[in-house]
Structure 1
Amino acid sequence: MEIGISTFVETTPDPHTGEVISHAQRLREVVEEIILADQVGLDVFGVGEHHREDFAASSPAVVLAAAAPQTKHIRLTSAVTVLSSADPVRVFQDFATLDGISNGRAEIMAGRGSFIESFPLFGYNLQDYEELFDEKLDLLLTLQKSEKVTWSGKHRPAIHNRGIYPRPVQYPLPIWIGSGGNTQSVIRAGALGLPLVLAIIGGRPTQFAPLVQLYKRAAAKAGHDVSKLPVASHSHGFIAKDTETAADKFFLPTQQVMNVLGRERGWGHYSRASYDAARSFEGALYVGDPETVAQKIIHLRKNVGITRFMLHVPVGTMPHEEVMSAIELLGREVAPRVREEVAKWEATQ
């Protein structure tokens, strides 16, 4: 069972003061968070690509590369790369470069993206949303398999027997599919034999169990070894020494972001009642003391089949020292409990 962190490198207004941290400062803080995550024994750190004022990481590979020489073991991944509006060649080259700097710890998490700012920015038509992803994923997987590439498609100029460099340390360079729970994307990942990441940020996490089974059936039907395909979750949460402190500290920053996104997307108001319901044992928020969070992750492993858990913290702007404390608690207290309990459980299966 792998445990890690994901971030969008948020620069939202502080919910208490209204102050907005600079992109530069928040980027430097995230590098420190990656280094700490490695020191406390976490397995993976993910940085999500966005192209808007309130998230600073438009180039996850660069952020991860800044931390790579200062870390030893932690895997470094995008979370996600918006592949539909990116050039797969540059994506592959960027993460092959990261793989070299980190000596074989880079991963790509490819997704269609629930945020659409990158499409007009890079000149893509949202009407081609699905077609763009399918075509660009095909090219990325072609690049993964071969040093010399010949490929043609509709939305990008053809490549005729060109070498792609640098070469990564890992062969193949790991590529995951990020999904918000769309049935088609889950089936696609299984059919291609690619690891799957589910964004479990609402509702009851156990409702995702049928999607995991659908993914595994698609993989088995395509002839892939299902036992070798990991499934990850990306879930919001925060850890403090006691549950009430964790709940109170995490609420306002989360509410602020959820209501901004809610106004953009037509969601209802995000209230404290909604938040507290999501903190329940069957809810999608992993907020509490180390024991509470550990038990919820174990529940997710046993009932959904998740083999990698990524805690997304923070959702909105929080003091850097509080984020660092949550990372330390996840690594030093939560992860050992989860790994021990899951190992015992798996031994009985």
Structure 2
Amino acid sequence: MKAIAISLIVHAPDPVTGEQVSTHERFAQVVRAAEFVEQIGLDGFGVGERHERPFISSAPTVVLSHLAARTRRIRLFTAVTTLSLLDPVRAYEDYATLDHLSEGRLELIVGKGNGSAQRQLFAVTEDDQWDRNAESYEVFRALWRQDTVTADTRFRPPLRDAEVWPRPYQRPVRVWHGSATSKASVDLAARFGEPLFSANVTNPIEPYAALIDHYRERWTHYGHDPKALTVGAGSAGLSVAATSQEARAAFQPAFAGYLAAQRRLGVEPVFATLDDYVERSSALIGSPAQVLEKVRRYHERFGHTVLHVGADAQGVSEGDHHRSLELFADAVLPTLRSELPDPPVWGPGPLDDDSRARAASSGETFLATG
């Protein structure tokens, strides 16, 4: 199993102190988190994309390009690229550039995205958001694979033998399809024979498991090799300590923040108590042995081979969260790696040999290798 850390770059007051760091410091925290994740041996780091409060992750390609220059090994993920809001041509240009700057460490998780404010900002409606997502992805996918593209599009001007530059480093890039609530994203992933990444953060296991089951059924329906099917899954929080009591105590402020957020939204919390949250949510809270048991339990239902943990501190200091991440890396991840399978493919995508030879012979170097 592989493990990645993800930040949506939430910029909000601390749930304990009420203090809010500056925008500049919040970005600096993300950079430190990515560097630390690489240092402790996790496999990847992801940055979200949101275009509404309280997130400041509206420019993930900029953030990931900087992280490409500050890291050397980890895979760099988007989480998620909100293609329902974007012009696929412009998105392709940004990500193909990032693919080169990262030396082929880019992985895309694409999805519709959520939130009414960002839909309004981009004039996307609830009625057309899924159609936009599918069309944008089909164009984006074609641009990555073909030197010229013709497409009769509804939501942007049609393309006629369009050439878009630069050509990418990875051919093709690996694309995951983010899934939270809808069968539409699941079906899109299965249709193209591409991996699924379950959000798996808001509810108990059942609705996510049902979507993954649907993905497996559609994968078979579209005639893909069952051995190539790949699932990733998120987690709703991380607090690993020597004992369960220490882990729960450390997570209590974050859980209080969760309850307060639900109250502000005027909705009943899915998990009313910390005990319920620890037991029924996907959060990894407890001793290393308890965290291992929960990941195994979810793996039995999902069959996932990539796990996402939170990159950001929730109600604790940055140092305390880093210690929790380090204990996860030292005392949990080695067992997961030995017991559970890796994804069918990991590392750079299947870049063709001719492209590799051209790059080597030309002496090309990029920012991420300096």
Same structural fold, with TM-score higher than 0.5 when normalized by the shorter chain: yes
Q: Structure 1 residue 96 and structure 2 residue 96: aligned?
A: yes
Contact 1:148 1:164 in 2 (8 A): yes
Q: State the SS of the aligned residue for 1:103.
A: coil
Contact 1:240 1:290 in 2 (8 A): yes
Q: Structure 1 residue 252 and structure 2 residue 233: aligned?
A: no
Q: Structure 1 residue 279 and structure 2 residue 278: aligned?
A: yes
> Would you identify which runs of 4 or more consecutive aligned residues in structure 1 move more than 3 Å?
206-210, 261-264, 313-318
Structural mapping, 1:2-17, within 5 Å = 2-17=2-17
Q: C-alpha separation between the residues in 2 aligned to 1:162 and 1:343?
A: 41
Q: C-alpha separation between the residues in 1 aligned to 2:315 and 2:81?
A: 22
- C-alpha deviations, 1:152-197, integer Å up to 9, x for none? 2111111222222222221101111101142332223112211101
Name stretches of at least 5 consecutive residues in structure 2 with no aligned partner. Answer: 343-370
Q: CA deviation at 1:254?
A: 4.2
Q: Structure 1 residue 166 and structure 2 residue 166: aligned?
A: yes
Q: CA deviation at 1:297?
A: 1.3
Q: State the SS of the aligned residue for 2:157.
A: coil
After superposing the two structures, state which structure 1 stretch, 335-344 or 42-51, moved more. 335-344
With structure 2 as the length reference, what TM-score do the two structures score?
Answer: 0.85
Q: Structure 1 residue 55 and structure 2 residue 55: aligned?
A: yes
Distance 1:16-1:169 versus aligned 2 partners, 3 A rule = same
Q: CA deviation at 1:84?
A: 0.7
Q: CA deviation at 1:267?
A: 2.0
Q: Structure 1 residue 291 and structure 2 residue 292: aligned?
A: no
- The equivalent of 1:186 in structure 2 is 186
Structural mapping, 1:1-349, within 5 Å = 1-205=1-205, 208-241=208-241, 242-257=243-258, 259-260=260-261, 263-264=264-265, 266-269=266-269, 273-280=272-279, 282-314=280-312, 316=314, 318-342=316-340
Contact 2:82 2:113 in 1 (8 A): yes
Q: Letter of the aligned partner of 1:304 in structure 2?
A: F
Q: CA deviation at 1:257?
A: 4.6
The count of residues paired between Structure 1 and Structure 2 equals 341
Identity %: 30
Contact 1:6 1:79 in 2 (8 A): yes
- C-alpha deviations, 1:57-114, integer Å up to 9, x for none? 1112221211112222211111111111111122222222222111111011111112
Contact 1:257 1:316 in 2 (8 A): no
Q: Letter of the aligned partner of 2:119 in structure 1?
A: F
- Over the aligned positions, Cα root-mean-square deviation in angstroms equals 2.3
Q: C-alpha separation between the residues in 2 aligned to 1:317 and 1:156?
A: 43
Q: Letter of the aligned partner of 2:109 in structure 1?
A: M
Q: Letter of the aligned partner of 2:303 in structure 1?
A: G
Q: CA deviation at 1:207?
A: 5.4
- C-alpha deviations, 1:222-271, integer Å up to 9, x for none? 1222311310111112133233232223232344255435543x421477
Q: State the SS of the aligned residue for 2:116.
A: coil
Q: State the SS of the aligned residue for 1:279.
A: helix
Distance 1:318-1:111 versus aligned 2 partners, 3 A rule = farther
Q: CA deviation at 1:198?
A: 0.7
Q: CA deviation at 1:52?
A: 2.6
Q: C-alpha separation between the residues in 2 aligned to 1:203 and 1:121?
A: 28
Name stretches of at least 5 consecutive residues in structure 1 with no aligned partner. Answer: 345-349
Distance 1:201-1:123 versus aligned 2 partners, 3 A rule = same
Q: CA deviation at 1:288?
A: 1.9
